[in-house]
Chains A and B, each alone.
Chain A
Amino acid sequence: MMAHHTKTDLDTLAQNLWQQYSGRELKPKDRLAIPPQEMPSQAPDERVANMDEVALGYTEDQVKVESLRCLQCANAPCVKGCPVGIDIPRFIAKAAEGDFAASVSVIKESSMLPSICGRVCPQESQCQLTCTVGKSLKSIDKAVNIGRIERYVADWESSTGKRENPEVAPSTGKKVCVVGSGPASITAAADLRREGHEVVMFEALHKAGGVLVYGIPEFRLPKRIVKEELDALAAMGVKLEHNFLVGRTAKLHDLMERDGFDAIFLGTGAGLPKFLNIEGENLVGVFSANEYLTRSNLMRAYDRKKAGTPLYHSKKVAVFGGGNVAMDAARTALRLGAEEVTIVYRRTDEEMPARREEIAHAKEEGVKFLYLHAPLKILGDEKGKVTQVELITCELGEPDASGRRSPVEIPGSEALYDFDTVIVAIGNASNPLIEKTTKGLDVNRRGNIIVDEETCATSMPGVYAGGDIVLGAATVILAMGQGRKAAKAMNAYLAGREESA
């Protein structure tokens, strides 16, 4: 394992590099020679005992040095890797100059939520995947750290109080609502409000932010950042209704016909946990990752002095799955006081869908990894509490349709392992409530709402949808991109209605 470097050490290194490289003409060769800047982070043994953000963010010298690594490619392959097409070389050039205000405004031309995307976007499979620097140095890990620069300039904007909310056009007299308050809905709400429509946001829970709040843990995405985005919406005049479950509190048709909404955006997300359907899954001590994370993130179970949310006291935790949610759940379990946490995954490290950084962080913190094992059943004691899990060993077979090699169980290799808690993190499906309570809304066999790719329009006139409810469990940036696309089409739809009225 790599030795831990403190933020001060990393900053000193960066200062030296800055003196060495700044203020002179740099050839591509020189830029390639600048070492990638490591993200300062809390020391692993400290951070497992708190909920604070693990990655501390670059220092000013680090961000400027990292920005000098960008070759400013004329063909900008990074931009093609970005789902919302941020002008990446331009915002990095501004950051290298130290003009962070200009840098963040370049990002905001295309992205609403840079402080969030800088933290949770899978850059290594998007912009940084195609980066010329990474390709020239023959390692994706050596690509320009675009996300970290993005995070720095976005944080700079909010910490200096230079943040400006978008201007709102004069009232159009049209009324629209967005259902849900996650990344797709936040983006759509802002773009709709900007046009001058009255915008109401309906959130089923008592706290807004969707998956950003209930799903992603505090140590990866501090909730104050999400709150800032929601405060910005409120300042623009978006009305937020908590504890309003569309489909129960009011049906979609009610909202349109009775309450007079001219258009609706559905961003209800993928919050329905999937289970393995194996024996013992109903025992006490088995959680969906969704429930486990919601207790900790949204209900603040970790904050025992302030929150009354009950906490399940675990000693040995098994987490089933290998995605980001599995990593989040495992790392949360450690912070909630578990003595030993093991990720049980059917394939190997290589096939794990989680981000490399999350896997590395989990390992640093002491999460154990049991590869090539699949759960068969969960066993409990006479009180119905989990005591053991039966696992079977697998080997990798031929690649399946997704290109990953599929695990094949080895008969006779079943064995029992002691665990008192099981967290199932094998994915989420779409929230089914709106589909179940709305006639005329077309969904596919997975329960995802079917939309027009260009406009995000659903089968119902005036109703648009985006984010995980359309894509299945995907990423924040894709959700944001769809929210933006939908809002654009909705603004056009509403303008059209005005003319015909």
Chain B
Amino acid sequence: MSTNFDFDSVICHIFSQTKTEAINEVIDKCSIFRTLPDINRFRRAVLNREAIETTGIGHGIAIAHGKIRNLSHVQVGLGLSECGVDYDAKDGLPVHFLFVIASSPTRQFEYIRTLSALLRTVRSPEVRDELLKLDENYECPDPLSSQGSSLMKMLADQHFSWLWKNGITASSH
């Protein structure tokens, strides 16, 4: 995994216990979102989407997302919660892995591909354990599993695809 990357901009530990606070905490702590043209509009988009139906899909995972115009690429931040966020998730369990995705209406294909790539990694319980063990510097003391390092690489590069190149490819499917 890329060692010299500053994961601070894309991963954070969050301590909020409610959904709205947790989403805001991820948006505030992941500096990648500061480049958005209008961060408050993005916040509202994410929360409005959440009001329609929860994005807590179970197993402690939630994928909050909002669309704003004119993004050149999809951006993803990840909040890790040790104590769990009360998220009204499908399975009723607290959320420990809160992805927040910024996308544009014109980037629907890229967005779907991103969702798919993220889910392929975090659906493994091993990867979820690894994520919770990440320290303040987001360097895991033990070598990460291939799925885990693939997720870290995707976050670092902000390039989300399992169809292309590197380590784990589509060949196994």
Contact = CB atoms under 8 A, between A and B. Distances in A.
B71 interface: no
A28 B132 contact: no
B134 A29 contact: no
B15 A132 contact: yes
A7 interface: no
B133 interface: yes
Interface string A31-49: 1100000000000000000
A80 interface: yes
Interface in B114-173: 129, 132-136
Given A75-B13, A136-B15, A80 B136 contact: yes
Nearest to B138: A75
A322 B134 CA distance: 38
A71 B84 CA distance: 11
Contacts of B83: 28-29, 31-32, 71, 132-133, 136
Main secondary structure of the interface of A (DSSP, over half): helix
A138 B21 CA distance: 12
A73 interface: yes
Given A29-B84, A132-B83, A135-B15, A75 B94 contact: no
Interface in B79-125: 80, 82-84, 86, 94
Contacts of B17: 29, 32, 136
Contact of B82 (A27, A80, A132, A138): A132
Interface in A1-59: 27-29, 31-32
A32 B133 CA distance: 20
A75 B135 contact: yes
A75 B15 contact: no
A73 B82 contact: yes
Nearest to A77: B136
Contact of A74 (B84, B94, B132): B132
B133 A27 contact: no
B135 A77 contact: yes
A80 B15 CA distance: 18
Contact of A27 (B13, B15, B84): B84
Contacts of A132: 13, 15, 82-83
Interface in B1-40: 13, 15-17
B145 to A, nearest CB: 15
Contact of A75 (B16, B82, B84): B82
A130 B15 CA distance: 11
A135 B82 CA distance: 11
B15 A29 contact: no
A74 B15 contact: no
B132 A29 contact: no
Residue from A76, A80, A132, A136 with most neighbouring chain B CB atoms (10 Å): A136
B169 to A, nearest CB: 29
B141 to A, nearest CB: 10
A113 B135 CA distance: 27
B136 A29 contact: no
A50 B157 CA distance: 64
Contacts of A29: 17, 83-84, 86, 94
A83 to B, nearest CB: 16
A74 B82 contact: yes
A29 B83 CA distance: 7
A95 B147 CA distance: 36
Contacts of B129: 74
A151 to B, nearest CB: 25
Contacts of B135: 75-77, 80
Nearest to A135: B15
Contacts of B80: 75
Interface string A121-151: 0000000001011011010000000000000
B15 A28 contact: no
Residue from B17, B82, B86 with most neighbouring chain A CB atoms (10 Å): B82
A28 B136 contact: no
A138 to B, nearest CB: 8
Given A74-B132, A76-B135, A132-B82, 5 more contacts: A75-B133, A77-B136, A132-B13, A136-B17, A136-B83
Interface of B: 13, 15-17, 80, 82-84, 86, 94, 129, 132-136
6 contacts: A29-B83, A32-B83, A74-B82, A75-B80, A132-B13, A136-B82
For the complex of A and B, 8 pairs with smallest distance between CB atoms: A28-B83, A74-B132, A135-B15, A73-B82, A74-B133, A136-B15, A132-B82, A136-B83
Interface of A: 27-29, 31-32, 71, 73-77, 80, 130, 132-133, 135-136, 138
